[in-house]
């Protein structure tokens, strides 16, 4: 079974390229951000708990997020493309353990790399259609990028050491990035 991780800063295009890869390789597209937004929208007890955290642009706690991921692994028989997860080294270690329990592994981690100025521009463009509060406010956007640099950046080293990291320059168009990802990922599937 194939499992992929798509990894990149907010605004890098993780959702777009995860959708493309999910279709190509018949994977279940698990976006932890989407799942968490659904919880908030449903006004569940968990949703009410995490609403303020997400609106600030902070990361939701590891236990909440790993519970969601565990449930998804059980729910869908296909392999998974993880979008927006793991975001901390602790989450990355939990993911390895979870996959081991189910006798699975990660084929590769696709890191899409975009300069910070371009990320801010893309998030602001996206805010016109996404309707997301955390895409509109420049202070929250910066907070999310800081969270990425402080807590998520170390995850890159974790995967580099495990030998599964693919670095993709994603500063160009969607089509250019799509082609670069396709070429790199094909060797691992
Ligand atoms: P995203 O849609 O991936 O940009 O995520 C939006 C927000 O959801 C983030 O700013 C976090 O508050 C939360 N979130 C999504 N995925 C995770 C995760 N793996 N760990 C912690 N928080 C997350």
The structural domains of the chain, ordered by start, are 4-184 (3.40.50.300)
Please count the residues of the chain: 189
Across the beta sheet with 4-7, the strand order is 28-31, 80-83, 4-7, 108-113, 165-169
- The whole-number pLDDT of residue 77 equals 86
CB distance 114 to 4 below 8 Å: no
Indicate which atom in ligand 1 lies nearest the CA of residue 144.
Answer: 10
- The whole-number pLDDT of residue 134 equals 87
Question: Does ligand 1 have an atom closer than 6 angstroms to the CB of 87?
Answer: yes
Q: Which residue has the tokens 């869908």?
A: 76
Mean pLDDT of 130-143: 88
Question: Does ligand 1 have an atom closer than 6 angstroms to the CB of 79?
Answer: no
- Neighbouring C-beta atoms of residue 131, cutoff 10 Å: 9
The sign of the torsion formed by the CA atoms of 130, 65, 144, 47 equals positive
Question: For residue 78, how far is its CA from the centre of ligand 1 (angstroms)?
Answer: 23
Residue among 12, 17, 32 whose CB has most ligand 1 atoms within 8 A, to mutate: 32
Confidence category of residue 133, pLDDT binned at 50, 70, 90: confident
pTM above 0.85, yes or no: yes
Confidence category of residue 131, pLDDT binned at 50, 70, 90: confident
Query: What are 96-117's pLDDT values in tens digits?
Result: 999 999 899 999 999 999 999 9
């Amino acid at each position: 079974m194939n499992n992929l991780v798509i990894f990149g800063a907010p605004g890098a295009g993780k959702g777009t390229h995860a959708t493309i890869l999910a279709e190509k390789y018949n994977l279940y597209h698990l976006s932890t951000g989407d799942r968490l937004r659904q919880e908030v929208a449903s006004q569940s007890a968990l949703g009410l708990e995490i609403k303020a955290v997400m609106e600030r642009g902070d990361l939701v706690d590891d236990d909440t997020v790993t519970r969601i991921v565990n449930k998804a692994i059980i729910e869908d028989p296909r392999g998974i493309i993880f979008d927006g997860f793991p975001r901390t080294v602790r989450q990355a270690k939990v993911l390895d353990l979870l996959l081991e329990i189910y006798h699975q592994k990660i084929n590769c981690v696709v890191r899409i790399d975009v300069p910070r100025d371009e990320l801010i521009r893309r998030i602001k463009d996206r805010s016109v259609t996404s309707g997301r509060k955390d895409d509109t406010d420049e202070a929250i956007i910066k907070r999310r990028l800081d969270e990425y640099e402080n807590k998520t950046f170390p995850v890159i080293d974790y995967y580099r050491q495990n030998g599964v990291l693919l670095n993709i320059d994603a500063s160009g168009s969607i089509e250019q990035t799509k082609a670069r990802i396709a070429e790199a990922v094909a060797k691992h599937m």
